[in-house]
Amino acid sequence: MRPPHADPAATPAPTSWQVGDVRVHRVDETALPPETGAWLLPAATPDVVAEVPWLRPDFTAPDGAPLLASHTFAFEAGGLRVLVDTGIGNGKSRANPAWDHLDTDYLTRLTAAGFPPDSVDLVVLTHLHTDHVGWNTRAAGGGSWIPTFPNARYIASHTEWDHWAARAEGMEESRRQMFRDSVHPVRDAGLLDLVDVHDGPVDLAPGLRLLPTPGHTPGHVAVELRAAGGAAVITGDCVHHPVQLAHPAITSCVDTDPAQAVRTRRALLASLAGTGTLLLGTHFPPPTAGRVTADGDGFRLVPAS
């Protein structure tokens, strides 16, 4: 593994997709351990997964467990250089052993994609979970953390912020630590903007808007990109894995409102089916992106090249 300061020229070109006249780059952080899928999606048992042959071999481990990855997406839209979610981050104390003091070359990959940190204008956070806010900040020495993207506005849903703020007193220490090192430094630097997202989409810039997708968390948003000749939706955690296309009722063990999460997922997938819109899964392993089609009582992901 190359260190974060490795030569960007030696880093493989990132995977990317053309969405109309916009190029969307997947910036890889790390593959998640195989046991993550079985823990996160307990109803996605090997027997259930085996009933969905199109999940193999890309989206499942040999034992049938769902495979997951951590990556982010970068693109230019409406004159802005945009990053959606910021992954787990390096060097942070985390309760999850797979995330604890992670050491990846994520920033090198981001730079190789053409988005050095100082060039990013907008960071969109689909929600405030640990594996979506980690690169909000970087170590500054002495145990302090500073914004990784000093020239960017960081965007989150007001509902999302309020949800966690209301639980601050009873929050477990691991989540308190995440807010201390990855969220509060951004707020304290004056870079955090909270957006009201309720019953319908909210425009951030021409061709870029937030879609309310509550359930996983109360203020969760997906991100829609519309460009000349194409459209895409970045899922965040309203869809963790392609098995949830085939079985939208499969929920995550960390959904705050599982029933609402199911309603949200069904509605989103139904709205995309047959439209040609590119679905980009925030935790989908390669091939990561595809078009949604109706398939019996559920849906299917047709991978995009």
Q: Which residues contact 203 (CB under 8 A, 6 or more apart)?
A: 209
Arithmetic mean of pLDDT, 180-192? 98
CATH classification at residue 80: 3.60.15.10
CA distance linking residue 273 with residue 66, whole number of Å: 22
- How many domains in the chain? 1
- Please report whether residue 1 resides in a domain: no
Domain that includes residue 159, residue range: 8-303
pLDDT at 3 over 50: no
pLDDT at 8: 44
- Please report whether residue 2 resides in a domain: no
- Please report whether residue 246 resides in a domain: yes
Instruction: Provide the pairing of β-strand 192-195 with 153-157.
Output: parallel
Model pLDDT for residues 210-236, shown as the tens digit of each residue: 999 999 999 999 999 999 989 999 999
Arithmetic mean of pLDDT, 99-105? 97
Task: Tell me the pTM.
Answer: 0.95
pLDDT at 10: 52
